[in-house]
Amino acid sequence: DAKTTQPPSMDCAEGRAANLPCNHSTISGNEYVYWYRQIHSQGPQYIIHGLKNNETNEMASLIITEDRKSSTLILPHATLRDTAVYYCIVRVSPWSQGGKLIFGQGTELSVKP
């Protein structure tokens, strides 16, 4: 599974959009981009994933560049409850093709009032 690079920390004002970048320059054609977050003292929580098209769900939007070497997770209206560590993971899906959830260091997002 390809490696990812994320900034260690970011701040965002409450109510503003939080844009979390991720570089995955060695991503393969069959690897998906997944985002998880981990709120303090809880297990990681799935947010969104995509292959090459932009994706949106009730939690967030995922923008993947055309060359698929980077992506951005967007939380459109960040709240204090979005304060967490956000992990970007690239992997083959499903597991039967060798995909694993391998976590890096993530980005610690602090949403401030």
CA distance to 2, 82, 86, 94, per residue, from 21 (Å):
16, 16, 10, 24
2 vs 89: CA distance, rounded Å: 8
DSSP 6: -
53 touches another protein (CB under 8 A)? no
Cα torsion angle, 26, 28, 24, 92, sign:
negative
Piece in contact with another protein (CB under 8 A), picked from 17-25, 41-49, 59-67, 74-82: 41-49
Segment interacting with another protein, rule: CB under 8 A, options 9-17, 20-28, 70-78, 96-104 = 96-104
Chosen residue from 44, 55, 59, 63 binding another protein by CB under 8 A: 44
**Total residue length of the chain:** 113
Distance in angstroms between the alpha carbons of the first and the last residue of the chain: 37
Instruction: Looking at residues 67 to 86 of the shown chain, list those that interact with another protein (rule: CB under 8 A).
Output: 85
Question: Taking the complex as a whole, how short is the minimal distance between the CB of residue 87 and another protein, in angstroms?
Answer: 6
Q: How far is the CB of 37 from another protein (least distance, A)?
A: 11
Span near another protein by CB under 8 A; candidates 17-25, 54-62, 63-71, 104-112: 104-112
